[in-house]
A and B are shown apart, each in its own frame.
Chain A
Amino acid sequence: MDRHTPLLQVRDLTVRLGPVAAVSGLSFDVHRGEFLGIVGESGSGKSVTAKAILGLLPKSAEIRGSVQLEGEELLGASSETMRRVRGDRIGLVFQDALAALDPVYTIGDQLVEALQAHADVSKRTARKRAADLLGEVGIPKPVERLDSYPHQLSGGQRQRIIIAAALIAEPDLIIADEPTTALDVTVQKQVLDLLAEVCQRREAAVMLVTHDLGVVAQTCDRVATFYGGLLVEEADVFSLFDNPRHPYTRALLRSVPRLGEDSPFEAIPGSPAQIYISLTGCPFAPRCELAEAVCTAGVPPEFWEGTHRHRCIVEGREQA
């Protein structure tokens, strides 16, 4: 596979969950070795996108579009194929490590099971690999820890184990959905550094779903902002923070207080969007200070400036 083919290619992904248009016409790429940040608030479609890629949405979900992993189509793939893809090719790190680990099995049992599901190895080899991996994610006394139960570990240690489990089959892509939201800041830093370090060493790409712009600024190469199921802006991390083009991204950046700075700290009026039936205009228009009649007349098109794209019709018009 040549270098320029994206590892993951999402095209026109549309997901409807019952009456809710959760994701609308979503297209983006993830390249090898890069950190892509997906930011947005509740209901923005960021977690639904992660689940759609992994084939983890309920059967009742209506899904259209295409998700290709190095050319292999994942939408509509058999559940057997998806079981292989999950873990083997795409690793998963969830927010809640306590919920992701089975309380009645030891850490060792769970890692061995995960490994044996993806590779034909003996239990002894699998245990050895599991212990090595625990060492790699910075768990002290890894061999002893194999016999511990999840409740005997701290939140940070459990999250390290979830990262170990996600890495066990050496996937090319890690999807991390709010991996540090439940953790204290000092532990968050350790866990993010660990994720970054391990992925760099293994040349794995990371899709980091988060609401924390600090985490994005510190870890990501590129950022996509989601609002109301629409990808409203995407750019490299510097361009997005220096020159945000979409009013939602701008408002989001202004809503985060910065330590020791007299920066603005302003709320966005209204509540996060819930999109029913389908998108008929810009989902942010009801809360937007720039909104005009044209914003609700149809779904805003994409405007490009180099590799920076956004979907604000008012901004885009001025740019043209």
Chain B
Amino acid sequence: MTPKLRVQGLLKTFQSGRALLGTAQRSVAVDGISFDVAAGSSFGLVGESGSGKSTTARIMANLLDADEGSVQLDGREMLSLGRRDLLSARRRVQMVFQDPFASLNPRWKVGNLVGEGLRIHHHLGREAHRARVNELLEMCGLPASAASRFPHEFSGGQRQRIGIARALAVEPEVLILDEPVSALDVSIQAQILTLLSRLQTELGLTFVFIAHDLAIVERFCDHVAVMQDGRIVEQGVPAELYRDPQHDYTRTLLGAIPIPDPRRRDNNSPRR
């Protein structure tokens, strides 16, 4: 079966500085990675800052060009598209950002924020547009009255619901979730993940879940890939990979997670 998404040999470098009189230095952010994402599944991409996970996410959402490699959606190339095809590709793959405080324009009402994509991609009449915005808000657990309010009137969790409603407005097939709960209070994280799971089932969505929290990935994802320095060092089913990590870096990463149980204190910790 064709995977929903197939990433092959993805490479991205950034200019990192210029030697005096010399040529530009380039640093490699994503170093030739390949992976498949099955339709309707959740694919976790984990790693620390600088591992290349967010760069990969942005390339997959067509917000950034790759130097080399390909990303296929249902077997069709998504990168290096012309204007018209690019617009359609961007509609099908939407992104939800980490910080719901930074990713929503504070001067726009929630109704406009959620409806922006609708105006660009679907051309509905005024009433149909309003009805669709209300439907999206309710689907994400917000009252329809939210449409006439501003983002600052909402808590972090509610703002992330707005961000999700905004991404869903254009009826995407894939959501790229870039750390969607890491800026939220712990008590709220499970709320948002439950919402995402429900939406995935109801709408048949495929998720790429960028995260640094391995415990959340274990609960949420069917498959996980561990990134370090632009490469995927190991991938597999989360529970199996965590039980028997093969790569040193995966072991280091797992070992560094503080376990929420004082009876399982790290033997090497000075607080032992």
* Min CB–CB distance A206 → chain B (angstroms): 10
Q: Which residues of B contact A285 (CB under 8 A)?
A: none
Contacts of A217 in B (CB 8 A): 258-262, 264-265
A253 within 8 Å of B (CB atoms): yes
Q: Does B157 contact A (CB under 8 A)?
A: yes
Q: Is the CB of A214 within 8 A of B262?
A: no
Q: Which residue from B212, B214, B262, B264 sits with its C-beta under 8 Å from A184?
A: B212
> What 0/1 readout, one digit per residue, does chain B (242-265) give for beta carbons within 8 Å of chain A?
110000000011101111111111
Instruction: Tally inter-chain residue pairs, CB-CB below 8 A.
Output: 127
A268 and B260 form a contact (CB under 8 A)? no
B270 contacts which of A193, A256, A265 (Cβ < 8 Å)?
A193
Residues of chain B in range 45-70 having any CB-CB distance to chain A below 8 Å:
48-49
Given known contacts A185-B256, A258-B259, A259-B218, A211 and B265 CB-to-CB distance under 8 angstroms: no
Which of A189, A200, A259, A271 makes the CB contact (< 8 A) with B158?
A271
Contact of A218 with B269 in the complex, beta carbons under 8 Å: yes
Q: Which residue of chain A has its CB nearest to the CB of B186?
A: A255
B34 CB to nearest A CB, Å: 25
Main secondary structure of the interface of A (DSSP, over half): helix
Q: Which of B187, B219, B260, B261 contacts A267 (CB under 8 A)?
A: B187
- Asked if B215 is at the interface of the complex by the 8 Å CB criterion, the answer is yes
Contact A212 B270 (CB under 8 A): no
Q: Tell whether B103 is near chain A: CB-to-CB under 8 Å.
A: no
CA distance A184 to B49 in the complex (A): 7
Closest to A213 in B: B260
Q: Is the CB of A268 within 8 A of B188?
A: yes
Q: Are B185 and A272 in contact (CB under 8 A)?
A: yes
CB distance from A21 to the nearest CB of B (A): 18
A186 to B187, CA, bound (A): 24
Question: Is there a chain B Cβ closer than 8 Å to A304's Cβ?
Answer: no
Cα(A248)–Cα(B261), bound, Å? 17
Q: Measured between alpha carbons, how far is A110 from B212 in the docked complex, in Å?
A: 32
Q: Is A73 an interface residue (CB 8 A)?
A: no
- Which of B49, B186, B269 has the largest number of chain A CB atoms within 10 A? B186
A105 within 8 A of partner (CB) = no
18 example contacts (A-B, Cβ-Cβ < 8 A) are as follows: A41-B185, A41-B187, A42-B185, A184-B212, A185-B212, A193-B270, A213-B260, A215-B258, A219-B269, A238-B263, A255-B186, A259-B215, A259-B218, A260-B218, A265-B190, A267-B190, A272-B155, A272-B188
